[in-house]
Amino acid sequence: MLIDCDPGVDDAIALLAAISRADLIGITTVNGNVGIEHTTHNALAIVQIAGVDVPVHRGAARPLLAPTMDAAYVHGATGLGSVDLPPLSRDIDSDDAVGFILDMARSVDDLQLVAVGPLTNIALALRRDPSLPSRLGGFTIMGGAAGPGNVTSTAEFNIWADPEAAAMVFNEFPMLTMVGLDVTHKVLLGAAERDRLRDAGTPASRLAAELLDHAVHVASEIRGWAGAPIHDASAVVAVLRPELFDGRSHPVSVEVNGVHTRGMTVVDQRIGGRDGTDEQPPNAHVLFDAQTDQVVTEIVDAVIELQAQG
Ligand code: RIB
Ligand code: CA
């Protein structure tokens, strides 16, 4: 597995779960929740706290065309809430995330590429090597929504932050798995999960507990929810345990021009009733439901088990 991410509170928990349960061969970072320096610093700190030597390659500092925005109101100014990170003991392996993604796609059999931030790096990789989709075992994104958005009423943040990149990715990948808000808003982690993580008492589980505490407060403030959607960790579990999820394949397009809909993933759920002319074939397996209790348990157990391997 190779994760492209913008840590980010939920990215961080996703990375810990992947380090624990997947063969994580590398991390690439992208501008998104916060700026590239923060997302990259955070990725290095997470790997260090997890006690593993996973390479980190820095990627795009801004979207292809869109203005650079952030989600610091959700993730905090540095991207990981108010967590005190240790001084870094290592640096990035390169500042060429795109080159690393392409090298790994060419050299690693059945590579699962998982993108849980804006799709800028993935679009740039496609531009450098259009054969990328054929070299992967699978491609999964946390992003989009068939239903309402989060950053706007119609758009989910990862797509909205770089709509041109997302449009390229959906146009050029014949098939991807879309772990969107439709399912991630059903997988909520709350105080019980925070306490389980905190009580486990390992560096990784204590970090996850602090991050989850931040996310639960934000979810309560913004949405009045008792639990927080840890979007990116749900995407990692969707790759590791696909049997826990239900989805359907649909044609999906990305809106880049709409005044009210820029960054929207337009999921064509029509069944039949088409005139059959120039219809786009399904290009995304869109997840709509999950065995939520089991997904939550997977995320928490993965993080708690992590240090046991350390
Ligand atoms: O909309 C949720 C997504 O946007 C997550 O990936 C979160 O980390 C932010 O990047
Ligand atoms: Ca993210």
Alpha-carbon dihedral angle through residues 220, 225, 231, 235, given to the nearest 10 degrees: 150
Name the catalytic one among 57, 231, 250, 285.
Answer: 231
Ligand with the closest atom to the CA of 71: 1
Residues in the ligand 1 pocket, defined by CB under 6 Å: 6, 8, 10-11, 32-33, 71, 116-117, 142, 150, 156-158, 231-232
Could you tell which of 142, 154, 178, 184 is best to mutate to test the pocket of ligand 1, judged by most ligand atoms within 8 Å of the CB? 142
Q: Ligand 1 centroid to 158 CA: how many Å?
A: 6
Q: Please give the residue range of the domain that contains residue 272.
A: 2-309
277 pLDDT exceeds 70?
Answer: no
pLDDT of residue 71: 86
The span from the CA of 80 to the CA of 72, in Å, is 9
Q: How many domains does the chain have?
A: 1
Reported in sequence order, the residue ranges of 106-207 that DSSP labels E, i.e. its strands, are 112-115, 138-142, 176-179, 188-189
Structure tokens at 240: 């590791």
pTM: 0.97
236 pLDDT exceeds 80?
Answer: yes
**In what helix (H) or strand (E) does residue 228 lie, and over which residues does it extend?**
strand 228-229
Note whether 263 and 154 are within 8 A (CB).
yes
Band of the pLDDT at 302, cuts 50, 70, 90? very high
Q: Ligand 1 centroid to 9 CA: how many Å?
A: 9
Task: Give the pLDDT mean for 222-246.
Answer: 96
Task: Give the pLDDT mean for 32-55.
Answer: 97
CATH code of the domain in which 116 resides: 3.90.245.10
Indicate if 250 belongs to the active site. Answer: no
**In what helix (H) or strand (E) does residue 140 lie, and over which residues does it extend?**
strand 138-142
Q: Ligand 1 centroid to 103 CA: how many Å?
A: 26
The DSSP output letter for 81 is T
